[in-house]
Structure 1
Amino acid sequence: MAADGEETKPTKEPKYSKFTQQELPACKPLLTPKWVIAIFLVVGLVFIPIGAVCLAASVSVIEVSQRYDDVCAQGATSADKEASLMQLAGAGSFCNVTLSVPKQMKAPVFVYYELDNFYQNHRRYVKSRSDQQLRGEEAASSSLKDCEPELYVGGDRDKMINPCGLIAWSYFNDTFALAVTETGSSSVALPVNETGIAWATDISKKFGPYNTSNFNSDPAFRGGGAILGPVQDDEHFIVWMRTAALPNFRKLWGRITQTIPAGSTITVTVNNRYNTYRFDGKKKIVLSTTSWLGGKNTFLGIAYLTVGSVSLAFSVLFFVLQWRHPRKLGDVSYLSWNAKANAAS
Structure 2
Amino acid sequence: MEMEGGSSSGSAGGTQTHRRFSPVRSRAFYKFTQQNLPACKPVLTPGWVIMTFLIVGIVFVPVGLVCLHASESVVEIMDRYDVECIPEPYRSNKIAYIKDSSISKNCTRMIKVQKHMKAPIYIYYELDNYYQNHRRYVKSRSDKQLLYGLKYKDTSSCKPEETSNGLPIVPCGLIAWSLFNDSYAFVRGSGEMSVNRKNIAWKSDREHKFGKHVKPFNFQNGTLIGGGKLDPSIPLSDQEDLIVWMRTAALPTFRKLYGIIEEDIDADEIITVHLFNNYNTYSFGGKKKIVLTTSNWLGGKNGFLGMAYIATGTFFILISVLFALIHVKNPRPHGDPTYWSWNRKSNAS
TM-score band by shorter chain is 0.7 to 0.9
Distance 1:14 1:64, change over 3 A: farther
Match of residue 235 from structure 2: 230
Query: What is the CA–CA distance in structure 2 between the aligned matches of 1:130 and 1:293, rounded to whole Å?
Result: 35
Structure with the larger helix share: 2
Match runs of 1:160-199 below 5 Å: 160-181=168-189, 187-199=190-202
- How far residue 89 of structure 1 moved from its aligned partner, in angstroms, is 5.7
- How far residue 92 of structure 1 moved from its aligned partner, in angstroms, is 5.4
- How far residue 91 of structure 1 moved from its aligned partner, in angstroms, is 7.5
Distance 1:89 1:221, change over 3 A: farther
- How far residue 81 of structure 1 moved from its aligned partner, in angstroms, is 3.9
Q: Does 1:39 align with 2:39?
A: no
Match runs of 1:260-339 below 5 Å: 260-330=265-335
Match of residue 31 from structure 2: 21
Which segments of 5 or more consecutive residues in structure 2 lack a partner in the other structure? 1-13, 337-349
| Residue identity opposite 2:31 in structure 1 | Q
Match of residue 115 from structure 2: 103
- Whether the 8 Å contact between 2:171 and 2:219 is mirrored in structure 1 is yes
Distance 1:90 1:205, change over 3 A: farther
- How far residue 25 of structure 1 moved from its aligned partner, in angstroms, is 1.4
The TM-score with structure 2 as length reference comes to 0.84
Alignment equivalent of 2:217, drawn from 198, 206, 213: 213
- Whether the 8 Å contact between 2:60 and 2:309 is mirrored in structure 1 is yes
Alignment equivalent of 1:203, drawn from 202, 206, 210: 206
User: Which deviations, in whole Å up to 9, do the C-alpha atoms of 1:60-116 show, x marking residues without a partner?
Assistant: 00000110110111314379644554x676675000111111110001100110000
Which segments of 5 or more consecutive residues in structure 1 lack a partner in the other structure? 1-9, 182-186, 332-345
Alignment equivalent of 2:73, drawn from 60, 82, 103: 60
Alignment equivalent of 2:83, drawn from 57, 66, 70: 70
| Residue identity opposite 2:175 in structure 1 | I
The TM-score with structure 1 as length reference comes to 0.84
Q: Which structure: larger Rg?
A: 2
**3-state DSSP class of the match of 2:242?**
helix
- Whether the 8 Å contact between 1:132 and 1:139 is mirrored in structure 2 is yes
Query: What is the CA–CA distance in structure 2 between the aligned matches of 1:42 and 1:110, rounded to whole Å?
Result: 39
**3-state DSSP class of the match of 1:53?**
helix
- Whether the 8 Å contact between 1:88 and 1:222 is mirrored in structure 2 is no
- How far residue 230 of structure 1 moved from its aligned partner, in angstroms, is 1.7
**3-state DSSP class of the match of 1:113?**
strand
User: Which deviations, in whole Å up to 9, do the C-alpha atoms of 1:21-69 show, x marking residues without a partner?
Assistant: 3142122333221111011011101111110110000000000011011
- Whether the 8 Å contact between 1:84 and 1:273 is mirrored in structure 2 is no
User: Which deviations, in whole Å up to 9, do the C-alpha atoms of 1:172-208 show, x marking residues without a partner?
Assistant: 0000000124xxxxx3211111111111110000001
Deviates further, 266-275 or 22-31: 22-31
User: Which deviations, in whole Å up to 9, do the C-alpha atoms of 1:285-334 show, x marking residues without a partner?
Assistant: 11000010000000000000000000001111111111121120239xxx
- How far residue 140 of structure 1 moved from its aligned partner, in angstroms, is 5.1
Segments ≥4 residues shifted beyond 3 Å:
12-15, 78-85, 87-92
**3-state DSSP class of the match of 1:51?**
helix
- Whether the 8 Å contact between 1:121 and 1:244 is mirrored in structure 2 is yes
Match of residue 134 from structure 2: 122
Match of residue 337 from structure 1: none
Match runs of 1:151-162 below 5 Å: 151-153=162-164, 156=165, 158-162=166-170
Query: What is the CA–CA distance in structure 2 between the aligned matches of 1:202 and 1:89, rounded to whole Å?
Result: 33
Query: What is the CA–CA distance in structure 2 between the aligned matches of 1:237 and 1:91, rounded to whole Å?
Result: 26
Query: What is the CA–CA distance in structure 2 between the aligned matches of 1:190 and 1:240, rounded to whole Å?
Result: 24
- How far residue 146 of structure 1 moved from its aligned partner, in angstroms, is 1.6
